[in-house]
């Protein structure tokens, strides 16, 4: 709703009330229309100030309402009547003015913002565009170049930047409502037409075509396959070329198309899935709102390789003191140099003072005696990690939490060597750890709810998107990825090339194809894991290695590449060819094509043409199938957690929602039918066998994803 108050004789305040972010729900829009009419009818009122309850102006349209039938006063005419008002209207922006919230403010005649306010038009991140006049008013206010950048990225900006761009008229420290009233009193009586953005001429510039083409090229490259950014450019172009009413017509047409799209549904699902992942729960009933996390101020980071460096940087950026440990002086110096350089670059970019004083580098475990939590980031070797854990217990305070950054080793086995199994959890960061947002917080069978709460809270403070997951080999992301990778190499055996597979995956929307990712990470990473797991043993024929291991189909191609020293980007060749070791531009390598031909000849495989559809079905459906097994086992609390892991850790296209959402959108019965088909063709690939949960969901009528939880026996509640 909206609250109408008369504060001074001549000023009325309309306060949006819809906690927590005062989203423009039907009730709020009704309240605004009624309050505005009251203000306009009251002869004594000369000016109106719009503000939001609890120091939050407005988080935009109510996203929850998008999935139902929309009712109540529509936003566009409501904002029009604000702008057309003969009485002066000022927006007092505190907290956030986002999406429809900022569009409402753009309809006001003046805007005052608190210094800490954040503004933006993030509709593009929901698969939409700012369709309450935002695409037409903003370019008229700040020009098309700046408007294109804000609207196509959905970036939130500070009040300071908004002032510089001309979006707000004043930035104040203190009470924005009082400042808005003071501004209103100082300008009452002045003509308003110049303040009505819809009355301004189109935002035309001589090079409008060039600017829009460049923006289009940028958005196509950045968000391959996403419709909303392209529509945003088209709408802003209309603001530059057309009179306001025609531009609004274009905005409406584009919004109609986006609003009904599966991409918008996927992105709105992703918005809520991200928030649901933060509301973690454990099988024993402990959850985010019944478990307290004590504060962490000092953290030890063990190992300053690439992962340890990134973790240390993220911690320091969050204002946390770090004691970083290495085994010898040389490694310590290398780590120190890298961490210091990253933090200095960060400080320079942000224009803040360098946070290096929060860091201590040492060779001695004794320096860890005061830390509240340690994150072990040593080499991925169980015995080494066990030794580190045992040593840690000798020096740490008795309530210090011990975390491991393993990417898939058994957390329980590690916890068993400590004197505090209840305080051991996994914190699986993704490389590079100072950039990637995902953090899997892995609870073992003995982890206490408090330890999980502490790790989740610490991750959040480090700006990570945290997902609590149970302990199983590879946890969630890597466990699923294995099946996707297996299918991709089987496709090579059967006739595909790395470029073909990657192209199909990139057209699907992945940021990078699987073979490019493998080259980037280094092929030796998986090689080492396969050796440790016994898949590669000395008795395997090096010339014609077996294509079956432990009774299952196995593809030795990646091992054969490693044997040739083709480890990916770092050696200048892997699945692709690079100009030099370390360079990033992947080129098709004729040697690989020849190698694949020879391989097929050697094993008597007759190559066949493989369609992009088959690539997607085999790679993506086997991934989703494993996700369903994970759900069945109760490793995550719901399908949303899995989708968030894929969106934030594995370059899954946001406009496809995540693998679980995608499976639901394609149709679970279609996924089941395809998996049955491929499993029939590959009976020695057990992971292609449809999971029990998939069969159950299909048998129960393929319920919408939001209802899956109630169909899964094991699942713990997040309510």
Ligand X SMILES: CCCCCCC/C=C/C(=O)SCCNC(=O)CCNC(=O)[C@H](O)C(C)(C)COP(=O)(O)OP(=O)(O)OC[C@H]1O[C@@H](n2cnc3c(N)ncnc32)[C@H](O)[C@@H]1OP(=O)(O)O
Place of tokens 């025609």: 246
Q: In this chain, which stretch among 123-131, 382-390, 511-519, 636-644 interacts with ligand X, using CB under 6 A? A: 123-131
CA distance readout (Å), 303 to 335, 361, 378: 9, 11, 5
Q: How far is the CB of 625 from ligand X (least distance, A)?
A: 29
Phi/psi for 490 (5° steps) reads -65, -35
| CA–CA dist 192, 182 (Å, integer) | 17
The CA distance from 388 to 408, in Å, is 17
Residue 157 touches ligand X, criterion: CB under 6 A: no
Extended beta strands in 227-384, E state:
298-302, 321-325, 359-362, 373-376
Contact call for residues 266 and 702 (beta carbons, < 8 A): no
Q: How far is the CB of 259 from ligand X (least distance, A)?
A: 5
Among 27, 40, 70, 670, contact with ligand X (rule: CB under 6 A): 70
131 contacts ligand X (rule: CB under 6 A)? yes
Q: Is 456 exposed, middle or buried (0-12, 13-18, 19+ CB in 10 A)?
A: buried
Answer yes or no: are the C-beta atoms of 626 and 479 closer than 8 Å.
yes
How far apart are the C-alpha atoms of 468 and 630, rounded to whole Å?
A: 13
Among residues 13, 32, 126, 501, the one that binds ligand X under rule CB under 6 A: 126
Of these, 104, 132, 302, 529, which contacts ligand X (CB under 6 A)? 132
**Is position 476 an interface residue for ligand X (rule: CB under 6 A)?**
no
Count of C-beta atoms within a 10 Å radius of residue 266: 23
Catalytic residue among 53, 103, 614, 640: 103
Q: Are 106 and 299 in contact (CB under 8 A)?
A: no
Q: Is 519 in the site for ligand X (CB under 6 A)?
A: no
Identify the bridge partners of residue 157 per DSSP, sorted by sequence position.
119
What residues between 230 and 249 interact with ligand X by CB under 6 A? none
Q: Pick from 64, 337, 369, 394: which binds ligand X (CB under 6 A)? A: 64
Q: Name the segment binding ligand X (CB under 6 A); options: 18-26, 145-153, 380-388, 603-611.
A: 18-26
Alpha carbons 584 and 568: distance in angstroms, whole number = 10
506 is catalytic: no
DSSP secondary structure letter of residue 7: E
Question: Which residues sit opposite 425 in a β-bridge?
Answer: 403, 443
Residue 266 binds to ligand X (criterion: CB under 6 A): no
Instruction: Write down the residue that tokens 């009586």 correspond to.
Output: 189
**Of the residues 53, 94, 123, 440, which is catalytic?**
123
CB 662, min distance to ligand X, A: 22
Between β-strands 359-362 and 11-16, what pairing exists: parallel, antiparallel or unpaired?
Answer: unpaired
Position with the least CB separation from ligand X:
99
Helix 75-84 to helix 100-107 angle, to the nearest 10 degrees? 30
Answer for which of 83, 94, 123, 502 binds ligand X (CB under 6 A) is 123
Smallest distance from ligand X to CB 64, Å: 5
User: What residue has token string 């305080």?
Assistant: 423
Q: Work out whether 63 is an interface residue with ligand X (CB under 6 A).
A: yes
Q: Give the one residue of 75, 313, 359, 693 binding ligand X; rule: CB under 6 A.
A: 75
Among 53, 62, 372, 614, binds ligand X (CB under 6 A): 62
Of 30-38, 127-135, 236-244, 357-365: span binding ligand X (CB under 6 A): 127-135
Concatenated DSSP letters for 527-546?
HHHHHHTTSS-TTS-SSS--
The only residue of 92, 96, 323, 451 in contact with ligand X, by rule CB under 6 A: 96
- Asked whether position 20 contacts ligand X by CB under 6 A, the answer is yes
Q: Does 130 bind ligand X (CB under 6 A)?
A: yes
Catalytic, 617? Answer no
Tell me whether residue 92 or residue 423 sits nearer to ligand X (CB atom). Answer: 92
By C-beta, is 133 or 308 nearer to ligand X? 133
Cis peptide before 20 (omega within 30 of 0): yes
Using CB under 6 A, which of the segments 16-24, 77-85, 346-354, 560-568 binds ligand X? 16-24
Q: Which residues lie closer than 8 Å to 368 by C-beta, 6 or more apart? A: 300, 323, 325, 374, 392, 395, 396, 400
The residue range among 4-12, 19-27, 417-425, 431-439 that interacts with ligand X, by the rule CB under 6 A, is: 19-27
Q: Which region among 17-25, 84-92, 359-367, 706-714 touches ligand X (by CB under 6 A)? A: 17-25
Backbone φ, ψ for residue 470 (5° rounding): -80, 170
Query: Least distance (Å) from ligand X to the CB of residue 23?
Result: 4
Name the residue nearer to ligand X (CB basis): 342 or 462: 462
State yes or no: residue 275 binds ligand X (CB under 6 A): yes
To ligand X, the closest distance from the beta carbon of 509 in angstroms equals 21
Q: Which residues bind ligand X (CB under 6 A)?
A: 20-21, 23, 59-64, 70, 75, 96, 98-100, 122-123, 126, 128, 130-132, 255, 259, 275
Catalytic residues: 103, 123
């Amino acid at each position: 709703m909206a609250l109408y108050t008369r504060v001074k004789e001549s000023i009325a305040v309309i306060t949006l009330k819809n906690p927590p972010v005062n989203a423009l729900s039907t009730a709020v829009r009704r309240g605004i229309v009624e309050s505005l009419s009251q203000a306009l009818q009251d002869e004594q009122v000369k000016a109106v100030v719009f503000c939001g309850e609890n120091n939050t102006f407005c988080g935009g349209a109510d996203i929850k309402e998008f999935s139902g039938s929309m009712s109540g006063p529509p936003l566009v005419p409501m904002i029009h009547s604000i702008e057309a008002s003969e009485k002066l209207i000022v927006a007092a922006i505190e907290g956030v003015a986002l999406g429809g919230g900022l569009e409402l403010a753009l309809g006001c005649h003046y805007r005052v913002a608190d210094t800490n306010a954040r503004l933006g038009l993030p509709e593009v991140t929901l698969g939409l565009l700012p369709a309450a006049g935002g695409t037409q008013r903003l370019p008229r206010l700040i020009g098309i170049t700046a408007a294109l950048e804000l609207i196509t990225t959905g970036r939130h900006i500070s009040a300071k930047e908004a002032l510089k761009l001309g979006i707000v008229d004043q930035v104040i420290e203190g009470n924005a409502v009082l400042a808005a009233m003071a501004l209103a009193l100082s300008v009452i009586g002045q003509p308003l037409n110049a303040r009505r953005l819809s009355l301004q001429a189109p935002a035309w510039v001589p090079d409008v075509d060039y600017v829009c083409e460049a923006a289009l090229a940028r958005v196509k490259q950045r968000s391959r396959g996403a419709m909303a950014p392209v529509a945003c450019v088209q709408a802003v172009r209309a603001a530059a070329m057309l009179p306001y009413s025609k531009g609004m017509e274009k905005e409406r047409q584009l919004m109609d198309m986006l609003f009904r799209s599966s991409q918008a549904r996927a992105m709105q699902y992703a918005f809520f899935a991200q928030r649901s992942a933060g509301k973690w729960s454990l099988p024993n009933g402990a959850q985010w709102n019944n478990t307290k996390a004590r504060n962490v101020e000092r953290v030890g980071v063990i190992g300053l390789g690439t992962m340890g460096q990134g973790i240390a940087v993220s911690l320091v950026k969050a204002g946390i003191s770090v004691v970083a440990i290495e085994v010898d002086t040389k490694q310590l110096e290398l780590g120190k140099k890298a961490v210091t350089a990253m933090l200095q670059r960060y400080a320079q970019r942000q224009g803040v003072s360098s946070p290096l004083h929060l860091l201590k580098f040492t060779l001695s475990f004794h320096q860890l005696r005061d830390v509240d939590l340690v994150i072990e980031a040593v080499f991925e070797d169980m015995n080494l990690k066990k030794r580190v854990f045992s040593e840690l217990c000798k020096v740490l305070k008795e309530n210090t939490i011990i975390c491991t950054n393993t990417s898939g080793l058994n957390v329980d086995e590690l916890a068993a060597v400590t004197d505090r199994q209840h305080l051991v959890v996994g914190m699986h960061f993704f490389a590079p750890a100072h950039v990637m947002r995902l953090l899997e917080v892995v609870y073992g069978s003995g982890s206490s709810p408090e330890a999980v709460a502490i790790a989740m809270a610490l991750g959040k403070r480090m700006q990570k998107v945290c997902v609590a997951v149970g302990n199983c080999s590879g946890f969630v992301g890597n466990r699923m990825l294995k099946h996707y990778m297996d299918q991709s190499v089987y496709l090579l055996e059967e006739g595909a090339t790395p470029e073909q597979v990657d192209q199909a995956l990139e057209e699907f929307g992945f940021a990078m194809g699987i073979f490019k990712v493998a080259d980037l990470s280094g092929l030796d990473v998986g090689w080492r894991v396969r050796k440790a797991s016994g898949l590669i043993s000395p008795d395997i024929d090096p010339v014609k290695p077996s294509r079956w291991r432990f009774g299952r189909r196995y593809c030795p191609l990646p091992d054969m590449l490693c044997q040739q020293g083709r480890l990916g980007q770092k050696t200048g060749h892997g699945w692709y060819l690079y100009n030099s070791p370390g360079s990033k531009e992947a080129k098709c390598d004729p040697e690989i094509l020849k190698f694949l031909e020879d391989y097929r000849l050697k094993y008597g495989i007759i190559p066949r043409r493989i369609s992009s559809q088959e690539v997607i079905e085999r790679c993506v459906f086997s991934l989703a199938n494993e996700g369903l097994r994970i759900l069945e086992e109760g490793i995550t609390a719901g399908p949303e957690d899995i989708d968030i892991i894929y969106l934030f850790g594995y370059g899954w296209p946001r406009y496809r929602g995540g693998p679980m959402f995608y499976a639901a959108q394609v149709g679970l019965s279609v996924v089941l039918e395809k998996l049955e088909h491929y499993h029939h063709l590959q009976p020695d690939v057990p992971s292609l066998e449809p999971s029990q949960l998939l069969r159950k969901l299909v048998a129960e009528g393929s319920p919408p994803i939001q209802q899956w939880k109630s169909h899964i026996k094991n699942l713990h509640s997040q309510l």
